[in-house]
């Protein structure tokens, strides 16, 4: 198991650049890795639905996904695009779940509670599959915002539906009194536990910052401690730890404390690693049960479910006044992935009758979605490449004096020369930069703040050039930044 964890981290790191460049869905690689080590391959591991390892990993993954989705929300952007958010999360998500549940009752002959669980699970969009698309520079900002809001918030719309349907299928013994207790735990105690953990966590962090400071590397893992503490706090009062984890993250985002980007980036990266590891476990045998146990009814349902999302979203997005192309992209690109599997696994862990069949259906939907929706980023990558080539030809036609030698790789500068100029190989102070500038040396100031910090900025850096930290070479080439000057990078 430790070797598998190490393999997931190493492979994901080594392939990260290739995945971003090609648009190939990262989860497909890890499903293939799971198949390689599973019973259909080398038979090294077989994670069954009842295995304790899968239960632990799936629980941790869902906690981290809900927490990081909430804590990384930009509430200013949510308020700014509140109409788009309400349309995506309201009529879009709910109508999609309702239509899919109706199709499950009709095609699969499921009862209403089971169909409700399946509809909510299949309506969930996967943040890992969306991440590659959202990083594409050519993506329309409205489309990016809508998909980001949906992937960050729709699980909290769908999770309560799954939990309530599970209670209907396993009614409490205490009758109405017990139903009242469950409602209080779900609607009051669980969010309250998350809010308390979020407030206390931020207060403790701020207190220690002022008293003695907090090391940046430890602040980065602080987010994980808060997520797990919120889950444990809610479970201790018989509430939902998943709702509490989301509430804790949302509380931290609402307090608007100035968190270092490492707080968010480490949490997001850890959550993504947990998700990919869970994909490997599913890929050993569970995910393939969707194919091996497929019937005409499940295949028909899968196709219908994927087509019902556009049917729900296209009319729901009419008030947003988007172009038909952008509306169609939002409606189409709702990839089903681990979020779908994690939601339906709650019913499996709860020993709900019929949950094993729901899991098989969800596995088939996820496999088809990985293939179909995984092609979308690849198409966008090719469109971007074609657009860049066209722009370069137009630039050369307009400026015929440009020659190929101007685009040769820059000459490497020895580190000792850099230190001799700046006094420090890693840092340069503002007075040192100004002295360097006034001395007549060729200096270029690069604003490479993270996207979150840059979007929330209260000031701009005079004379700087904006270069995104995740695509510096592409931006430098696009902006035609000269290769000879000293580059001073501002990344606070």
Give me Rg for the CA atoms of the chain.
Answer: 25
| Pure H helices in 414-483 | 415-422, 430-438, 451-455, 472-478
Q: Does residue 137 register a pLDDT over 80?
A: no
User: Which structure tokens are listed for 169?
Assistant: 């299928």
Task: Choose among 415, 272, 286: nearest CA to 344.
Answer: 286
Bridge partners of 488?
A: 445
Tokens of 460: 């701009």
CA distance 88 to 69: 16
| Residue owning tokens 């959550």 | 271
Buried b (16+ CB within 10 A) or exposed e, 116-139: bbbbbbbbbbbbbbbbbbbbbeeb
**Taking a C-beta distance cutoff of 8 angstroms, is the pair 398, 323 a contact?**
no
Q: Are 266 and 223 in contact (CB under 8 A)?
A: yes
108 or 434, which is more confident: 108
**pLDDT for residue 148:** 81
pTM (whole model) above 0.85: no
Q: Which residues pair with 446 in a beta bridge?
A: 465, 489
Task: Return the percentage of the chain with pLDDT > 90, whole number.
Answer: 21
Task: Output the pLDDT for position 379.
Answer: 57
pLDDT of residue 420: 43
405 vs 240, higher pLDDT: 240
* Cβ density class 319-331: b for 16+ within 10 Å, e for less: ebebeeebbbbbb
Residue 23 has pLDDT above 70, yes or no: no
Q: CA-CA distance, 346 to 71, in Å (whole number)?
A: 23
What is the reported pLDDT for 261?
A: 63
pLDDT above 50 for 399: no
Mean pLDDT value across the chain: 79
d(Cα 485, Cα 102) in Å, to the nearest integer? 63
- 17-21, 244-248, 415-419: the lowest-pLDDT one: 415-419
- Residue 444 has φ and ψ, to the nearest 5°, of -120, 130
Write out pLDDT tens, residues 313-323: 999 998 888 88
Query: Which of 29-38, 177-186, 227-236 has the highest average model confidence (pLDDT)?
Result: 227-236
Q: pLDDT: is 127 or 280 the higher one? A: 280
433-469 per-position pLDDT tens digit: 777 777 877 787 888 877 666 666 666 767 788 887 7
Res. 403: pLDDT tops 50: no
Which segment of 37-51, 272-286, 403-417, 423-437 scores lowest on mean pLDDT?
403-417
Over residues 46-58, mean pLDDT: 85
- The Cα–Cα gap between 241 and 229 comes to 9
Q: What is the pLDDT of residue 212?
A: 84
Q: Which residue has the tokens 């308390």?
A: 196
Distance (Å, whole) CA 397 – CA 445: 29
Pick the CATH number of 410-490 from 3.40.250, 3.30.70, 3.30.750, 3.40.50: 3.40.250
* pLDDT value at residue 395: 46
CATH of span 2-132+139-373: 1.20.1530.20
* CA–CA distance, 117 with 169 (Å, rounded to integer): 10
The structure tokens listed for 489 are 């990078």
Question: What are the CA-CA distances from residue 189 to residues 197, 232, 250, 372 (Å)?
Answer: 12, 12, 16, 40
pLDDT of residue 413: 38
Most confident of 120-134, 264-278, 445-459: 120-134
User: SS3 for 488?
Assistant: strand
The residue count of the chain comes to: 492
Q: DSSP letter string over 319-338?
A: GGT--HHHHHHHHH-----H
- Strand arrangement of the beta sheet that strand 486-490 belongs to: 465-466, 443-447, 486-490
Q: Say how many C-beta atoms besides its own lie within 10 A of residue 409's C-beta.
A: 6
The CA distances from residue 433 to 130, 239, 255, 443, 446, in Å, are: 40, 55, 35, 9, 12
Please say whether the dihedral angle defined by the alpha carbons of residues 56, 62, 67 and 72, taken in this order, is positive or negative. Answer: positive
Specify the range with the lowest mean pLDDT, choosing from 38-52, 153-167, 423-437, 441-455.
423-437
Residue showing tokens 């968190």:
259
pLDDT digits (tens, 9 = 90+) for 188-204: 888 899 999 999 998 99
What does the pLDDT read at residue 392?
46
pLDDT band at 108 (very low <50, low <70, confident <90, very high): very high
Place 174 in a pLDDT band, splitting at 50, 70 and 90.
Answer: low
Confidence check: pLDDT of 94 > 60? yes
- Around Cβ 194, how many Cβ atoms within 10 Å? 34
- 422 confidence band (pLDDT: 50, 70, 90): very low
**What are the DSSP E strand ranges found in 22-179?**
none
Q: Helices 190-211 and 216-236 sit at what angle, rounded to 10 degrees?
A: 150
Give the start-to-end residue ranges of the domains of the chain: 2-132+139-373, 410-490
**Cβ neighbours for 421, distance < 8 A, ≥ 6 positions apart:** 436, 441, 486
- Residue 103 predicted with pLDDT over 80: yes
């Amino acid at each position: 198991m430790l070797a598998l964890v190490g393999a997931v981290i190493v492979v994901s790191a080594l392939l990260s650049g290739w995945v971003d460049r090609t648009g190939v869905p990262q989860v497909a690689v890890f499903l293939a890795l799971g198949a390689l080590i599973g019973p259909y391959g080398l038979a090294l591991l077989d994670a069954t639905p009842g295995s304790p390892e899968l239960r632990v990993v799936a629980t941790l993954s869902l906690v981290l996904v809900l927490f990081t989705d909430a804590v990384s929300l930009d509430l200013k952007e949510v308020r700014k695009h509140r109409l788009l958010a309400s349309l995506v999360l309201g009529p879009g998500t709910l109508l999609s779940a309702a239509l899919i549940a109706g199709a499950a009752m009709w095609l699969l002959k499921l009862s209403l509670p089971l169909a409700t669980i399946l509809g909510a699970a299949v309506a969930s969009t996967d943040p890992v599959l969306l991440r590659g698309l959202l990083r594409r520079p050519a993506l329309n900002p409205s489309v990016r915002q809508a998909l980001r809001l949906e992937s960050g918030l729709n699980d909290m719309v769908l999770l309560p539906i799954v939990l309530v349907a599970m209670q209907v299928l396993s009614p409490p013994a205490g009758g109405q009194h017990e139903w009242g207790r469950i409602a209080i735990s779900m609607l009051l105690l669980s969010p309250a536990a998350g809010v308390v953990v979020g407030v206390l966590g931020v207060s403790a962090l701020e207190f220690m910052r002022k008293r003695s400071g907090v090391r940046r590397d430890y602040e980065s893992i602080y987010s994980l401690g808060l997520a797990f503490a919120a889950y444990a706090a809610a479970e201790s009062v018989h509430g939902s730890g998943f709702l509490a984890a989301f509430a804790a993250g949302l509380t931290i985002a609402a307090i608007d404390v100035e968190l270092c980007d490492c707080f968010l980036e480490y949490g997001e990266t850890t959550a993504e690693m947990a998700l990919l590891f869970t994909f490997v476990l599913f890929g050993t045998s569970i995910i393939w049960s969707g194919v091996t146990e497929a019937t005409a009814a499940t295949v028909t349902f899968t196709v219908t479910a994927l087509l019902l999302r556009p049917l729900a979203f296209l009319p729901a997005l009419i008030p947003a006044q988007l172009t038909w192309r952008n509306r169609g992209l939002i409606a189409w690109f709702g990839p089903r992935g681990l979020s779908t599997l994690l939601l339906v696994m709650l019913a499996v862990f709860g020993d709900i009758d019929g949950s094993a069949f729901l899991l098989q259906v969800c596995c088939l939907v996820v496999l088809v979605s990985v293939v179909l929706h995984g092609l979308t980023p690849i198409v966008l990558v090719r469109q971007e490449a074609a657009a860049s080539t066209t722009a370069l030809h137009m630039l050369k036609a307009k400026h015929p004096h440009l020659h190929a030698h101007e685009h040769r790789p820059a000459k490497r500068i020895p580190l000792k020369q850099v230190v001799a100029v700046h006094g420090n190989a890693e840092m340069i102070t503002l007075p040192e930069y100004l002295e360097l500038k006034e001395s007549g040396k060729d200096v270029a100031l690069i604003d490479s703040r993270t996207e979150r910090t840059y979007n929330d900025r209260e000031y701009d850096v005079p004379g700087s050039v904006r270069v995104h930290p995740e695509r510096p070479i592409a931006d430098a080439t696009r902006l035609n930044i000269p290769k000879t000057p000293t580059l001073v990078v501002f990344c606070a």
